[in-house]
Structure 1
Amino acid sequence: MNNANAHAFTLEEIARRVGARLVGDGSRRVSGLATLNDAGPEDITFLANRAYLKFLPDTSAAAVLLHPNHADDCPTACLTMDNPYVGYAKLSALFDPLAARDVPGVHPTAVVAESASLGRDVQIGPQAVIEDGVRLGDRVIVGPGSVVGCDTEIGEGSRLHANVTVCHGVVIGRRAILHSGCVIGGDGFGFAHDGGRWHKIAQLGGVILGDDVEVGSCSSIDRGALGDTIIGNDVKIDSQVQIAHNVQIGDHCALAGCVGIAGSTKVGRNCMLGGGVGLSGHLTLCDGVQVTGMSLVTNSIHQPGVYSSGTGAMSNAQWRKNAVRFKQLDDIAKRLTRLEKEQRSR
């Protein structure tokens, strides 16, 4: 049993909150969320993958959230909806123990500049620093050890976990979630070389994050060199992602771990970049592009679809043979072109 939340909910209340249709006793109360196998009589569970359908008849849960097609197989109360995985996401928010511990107020060890503006029910944790000119919206949470640089604006309902750094002049929308160790608005990688040494280019732009953006731990979003780096609404960024200066990412994109995007590249709306994907600088990806893991994109993509590069894993012996042939491809292509010309001339 997973009593993740001190509060209990009736099934009727849960159905209303997640937008599901309840079949069963709406007055029954549940206090935890667990898997089909682990759920007890005080838990609610879910079925979102047909592979787990075999576990449904034996579940001990008080209720199961599932697709209407599986309601007849449910041995207990059920909540039905067309997309039970989205329902699971909403359930998880109800039982999130972190939310139950949120208490508005400024910890005595926090440092808050007199010129900072704090909205209602703001929570600022131990050793956090809020610099001059910062504006925090209602219900913003700044975790322990986090730093919010001068003249930054953070929208209502946003959360900074422990040890987040938001540099100066950054704009963050509503309901953002920034995980520990991420840096928003650090300097972009800008240098000029005179033939002997590097000269730093001051990064004068900022960073703008839209509403409902989530940034994973130890990810970096660099400030613009002149204009701003812009992240659209509902963009989800995994851990250890690097977004360089002046990149623009459209609404509803998702970037998996270790993605790297070089400067001034523009990514359209509803794009998905798999783990380890690299995008070269000054490219454009249109809306609806999906790039599979460990791919390198060196040219703009103008048609939506799924794109890949690189080779899949194989034995080292086979890879060594193929690597030799990779070097021969240009010569093979030239020979093939010559043979085709000779064939046409006959």
Structure 2
Amino acid sequence: MITIKQIISRIEQRQPVLNKAELTTDQLTLSINGVGSLTDANSTQLSFLADPNYITSLAQSQAGVVLVTEQYREQVPSPTVVVVVASPYLAYASSSQLFVRHTTKSNNIHPTAIIAKSAVIGADVRIGPYCVINEHVHIGDRSCLDANVIVEAYSRIGTDCVFKSQVVIGHDCIIGDYVRLHAGVSIGAEGFGFAPSQDPSIDGWERIAQLGRVIIGSHVRIGSNTCIDRGAIDDTVISDHVIIDNLVQIAHNVRIGAGTAIAANTGIAGSTTIGKRCVIGGAVGINGHIDITDDVTLSGMTMVTKSIKSAGSYSSGTAAMPTAKWRRAAVRFRQLGDS
């Protein structure tokens, strides 16, 4: 069980609790065992109001504790405990981490793991079944590698990292602290670099050796089956606090600035630079060798073919409509291009 006092302590790592002094000892020691929606939470669960559209649910909520802004504190029904914060959604995010189920592991290093003698393994590192740790790898303290993780030679992994099963780290890559890589992530695979022969249909393509690395900062989260290719000459760089969803392709020599968020099925072609604090929606396609400045938002399915030099929101995907109407619209769009 988690007490409200513990919840408040976690919240205050990110923002102040505005009514902390008003809470009684009985309220602070109340035990909470999970998180629920306003409509479904019971007296032992935490809930929150982040969207005013759900204000009618707040009045009927049976939650044990609710996170709200000052504006709505008087609308929380008794005996629910009110915790007042500037950002309930951020407070919910912080609190949710207290309720994650942790699996106890008796052995730090599984006997089936293959670890090179030259590898340096930090304190309290956990390495799961059938992992392969190659020559001269460094793994920082308290990092955890689940089953079948492969780390190739000369790569460095920071402290407190979590790598889920089937993650592959290519040679010479550098990964910071507090990095979470979910199942099937590929870091540092060979980039898609080939030089055409005089006739590719006869002579094929000449492979370009990819000699760069992937460098990932700290507090980065990368979703399942995302691929980040190593640089051809220079490095591919993912800066601190970047979050990346599942099934994203990041090609060689891409550089992504701190705090940027990238949703699923996005593809970023090689040698593109993306600035800080950008938000990239699902299924966005970004051309190679372009620059996107800081604080840019790209809505879902946007196609970016040229550099973006001004902060703001950009879109290019068309919303679904009946097929007959879409065909007529497409004809008119082509006609505009001919005028």
Task: Name the TM-score, length of structure 1 as normaliser.
Answer: 0.90
Paired residue secondary structure (1:44): strand
How far off its partner does 1:103 sit? 5.9
Paired residue secondary structure (1:97): coil
Equivalents in 2 of 1:13, 1:330: separation in Å? 61
Count of residues in correspondence between the two structures: 324
Q: Does 1:81 align with 2:59?
A: no
Q: How does 1:1-346 map to 2 (within 5 A)?
A: 8-19=1-12, 20=17, 21-22=19-20, 23-24=23-24, 25-75=27-77, 76-98=80-102, 101=104, 105-196=108-199, 197-332=204-339
Are 1:104 and 1:122, in contact at CA under 8 Å, matched by a contact in 2? no
* Match of residue 339 from structure 1: none
Are 2:150 and 2:167, in contact at CA under 8 Å, matched by a contact in 1? yes
Moved more, 172-181 or 17-26: 17-26
Paired residue secondary structure (2:328): helix
How far off its partner does 1:327 sit? 2.5
1:38 is matched by which residue type in structure 2?
Answer: D
* Match of residue 3 from structure 1: none
1:211 is matched by which residue type in structure 2?
Answer: S
2:133 is matched by which residue type in structure 1?
Answer: I
**Runs (5+) with no aligned partner, structure 1:** 1-7, 333-346
Equivalents in 2 of 1:74, 1:16: separation in Å? 22
**Compared CA separation, residues 69 and 133, structure 1 to 2 (3 A):** same
Task: Name the TM-score, length of structure 2 as normaliser.
Answer: 0.92
Identity rate, percent: 41
Paired residue secondary structure (1:105): coil
Are 1:18 and 1:90, in contact at CA under 8 Å, matched by a contact in 2? yes
Equivalents in 2 of 1:34, 1:272: separation in Å? 28
Q: Deviations over 1:34-84 (max 9, x none)?
A: 222222222222222222221222222221122122211112112111001
2:170 is matched by which residue type in structure 1?
Answer: C
1:56 is matched by which residue type in structure 2?
Answer: L
Q: Deviations over 1:6-58 (max 9, x none)?
A: xx222122212212244351121222222222222222222222222212222
Higher radius of gyration, 1 or 2? 1
1:245 is matched by which residue type in structure 2?
Answer: H
Are 1:103 and 1:123, in contact at CA under 8 Å, matched by a contact in 2? no
Paired residue secondary structure (1:78): strand
User: Aligned-pair RMSD on alpha carbons?
Assistant: 1.4
How far off its partner does 1:299 sit? 0.6
Equivalents in 2 of 1:323, 1:27: separation in Å? 63
**Runs (5+) with no aligned partner, structure 2:** none
Paired residue secondary structure (2:28): coil
How far off its partner does 1:104 sit? 6.4
Are 2:300 and 2:317, in contact at CA under 8 Å, matched by a contact in 1? no
Q: Deviations over 1:108-133 (max 9, x none)?
A: 11111111111111111111111111
Moved more, 158-167 or 64-73: 64-73
Equivalents in 2 of 1:114, 1:331: separation in Å? 67
Moved more, 304-313 or 86-95: 304-313
**Compared CA separation, residues 104 and 266, structure 1 to 2 (3 A):** farther
**Compared CA separation, residues 327 and 58, structure 1 to 2 (3 A):** closer
Q: Deviations over 1:219-256 (max 9, x none)?
A: 10000001100011100111000000000000000110
Q: Deviations over 1:140-168 (max 9, x none)?
A: 01111111111111111110011111111
Moved more, 34-43 or 283-292: 34-43
Equivalents in 2 of 1:134, 1:54: separation in Å? 55
